[in-house]
Chain A
């Protein structure tokens, strides 16, 4: 069966195809909602209303989106190099150590605009170092980065439980969390941003790390498509053989890419720790590292797509919490299912609809050519 494959126009490749995948994922998720005995349409309405219907809804949606932009970028940068970094969860968790140390120590005597850049550096550094080991093992010892980063998630979780329960917990406290940071360790909110569009944020934790996430997305775009390093990363991702032939050091690129990836994941810790809770709590990442996989796949590893996908997942998180009030059978775990379905349809099954779409475009193209040819022939007579 030799099928003539028309090349899809860019808008279909980057817009239509992901949209179809997304719609299918949501249809299947709707089936689960039906199975639970609720109406999928009511659930969807509740969700959108919860996420965008009020000022604090929008605030929460963008707050969650901030986390997902960071972790999505983390996965995407590694994807460009042909690496699958499942360790975003652990890298973000460990990155919390960097944020907390800056917040606990420097937060006492420095203003926030001085602690913030230092905390960015600290979290990025810790996250990058946590990604360095799997990177080195992949590049040097050939152990698969997927397995090692999964293992490092578990190891990070154990370390953080140990640190939070045994070391950073203030004396006399029962809860496994650090003390609340002083004034200098707290990031200002973005209430003024929502005020501009006439919404009131109230208690929503949206803060300046959202802006940092947008800057990071732009920088990742510059890195991947406008620098020599980005070119080398993409070459390695397309064809390791070609990269080797071109004299690109595999070891260097893998290690640098994974460290950038880990640094992006580590920076995610700023948002919940310094931005929202002003202290480090147990399990503050709450699966955001894994959501990053879905976000990166849906955004097709492009920063602009990732920001949009992150906002969509932010909506799911915030709206999902709202649904749980009205439909007790649908909890946050519904998001995990949607996440899985998005990964399945936008990731593993991304080719499923492509051939039929290509066939449709091919037929359309041929029909257009034929009418054009007929018109020309008609003109000649």
Chain B
């Protein structure tokens, strides 16, 4: 029974930790499927988290905070679009620039506005997205196996976690069952064909970048107002890059993206839990190794030792309309 509870708690924190990864990963999916590489997921998430933290502090409303996060993140996404779609700049360079701008601006503005070393003040529960107890969770708690499973694992997350996981089938539906999705995929594979069909390539790609911004904003708001209570300097800590890795690992497909994010979230959860606990046979694993594990795993996965990931064909290439 004890190991059952431990396992449940492990999976529970897996879900919490993978939610922001999943949101960022799906964000990247919209953008990259349309042929716009996005290294800037990290920066957009960070800027979104800061906007959420600041607005929640001023107005005390989690939903306003979410809105602010989305707006800021979309604005940065539009900068990325302006550079890489309108001016056909290098998409990777532009993404890197956005990461630095976000990293610097959040700290400078945070320090100037709140004077707490770059963080925003701690948020009261009223200004956060709090865990929701699903109907019947308390009542079912006593039921063996299913009860704790429902109570611990499925119930008791913030609404953004449910949103993140609901976005998986939604994204699948958009991508594979709507006209917009078809065009989105087409513009990432063969923009000339889309152009020939009389559809504007830039406008389609801008919409993809906006979708990406919205989801990154939600991910940022989750970090600052659901998982944490306020913005902390550099709080994304590489999550944007891990999400990118998960996206490649999932070969740019939504359902697989969810499993990849759950895997990375699980590794994170195991790493946190294993700190100071020696393993049988191996002995105590250094914390640093567990922290590096997602990155090592990503490199191994990217190296194609487990299947080859083929990116959208027109990814990273600006479209030049023939004259």
Q: Is A37 located at the chain interface by the 8 A CB criterion?
A: yes
Contact partner, B92, options A1, A84, A141, A161, Cβ 8 Å = A84
Interface string of B193-221 (1 = CB under 8 A from A): 00000000000000000000000000000
Q: Chain A contacts of B291 at CB under 8 A?
A: 158
Q: Is A249 located at the chain interface by the 8 A CB criterion?
A: no
Q: Is A148 located at the chain interface by the 8 A CB criterion?
A: yes
User: Which residue of chain B lies nearest to A160 when distances are taken between CB atoms in the complex?
Assistant: B288
Tell me if B295 and A155 are in contact (CB < 8 A): yes
Within 8 A of A (CB), among B95-122: 96-105, 107-109, 111-112, 118
User: Which residue of chain B lies nearest to A347 when distances are taken between CB atoms in the complex?
Assistant: B93
Contact partner, A155, options B88, B89, B292, Cβ 8 Å = B292
Tell me if B108 and A339 are in contact (CB < 8 A): no
Within 8 A of B (CB), among A321-348: 329-331, 333-341, 343-344, 347-348
Q: Is B79 located at the chain interface by the 8 A CB criterion?
A: yes
Q: What band does the interface of chain A fall in when counting residues whose beta carbon is under 8 Å from B?
A: 35 or more
Check A154/B112 contact, CB under 8 A, given A337-B104, A351-B88.
Answer: no
Tell me if A340 and B99 are in contact (CB < 8 A): yes
User: Which residue of chain B lies nearest to A352 when distances are taken between CB atoms in the complex?
Assistant: B87
Q: Chain B contacts of A330 at CB under 8 A?
A: 108
Interface string of B70-103 (1 = CB under 8 A from A): 0000000001001110011111111011111111
Segment at the A interface, from B58-66, B136-144, B158-166, B240-248 = B240-248
Q: Chain B contacts of A155 at CB under 8 A?
A: 292, 295-296, 299
Q: Provide the main secondary structure of the chain B interface.
A: helix
Q: Is B277 located at the chain interface by the 8 A CB criterion?
A: no
**A residues at B contact (CB < 8 Å):** 1-2, 32, 35-37, 84, 86, 133, 137, 141-144, 146-148, 150-152, 154-155, 158-159, 161-162, 166, 290, 293, 297, 329-331, 333-341, 343-344, 347-352
**Would you mind naming 22 contact pairs between A and B with Cβ atoms under 8 Å apart?**
A35-B109, A36-B108, A84-B93, A133-B299, A141-B303, A141-B304, A143-B299, A148-B299, A151-B296, A151-B299, A151-B302, A155-B299, A158-B288, A333-B103, A336-B103, A337-B105, A339-B104, A340-B103, A344-B98, A347-B96, A349-B89, A349-B94
**B residues at A contact (CB < 8 Å):** 39, 79, 82-84, 87-94, 96-105, 107-109, 111-112, 118, 238, 241, 244-245, 248, 286, 288-289, 291-292, 295-296, 298-299, 302-304, 308, 323
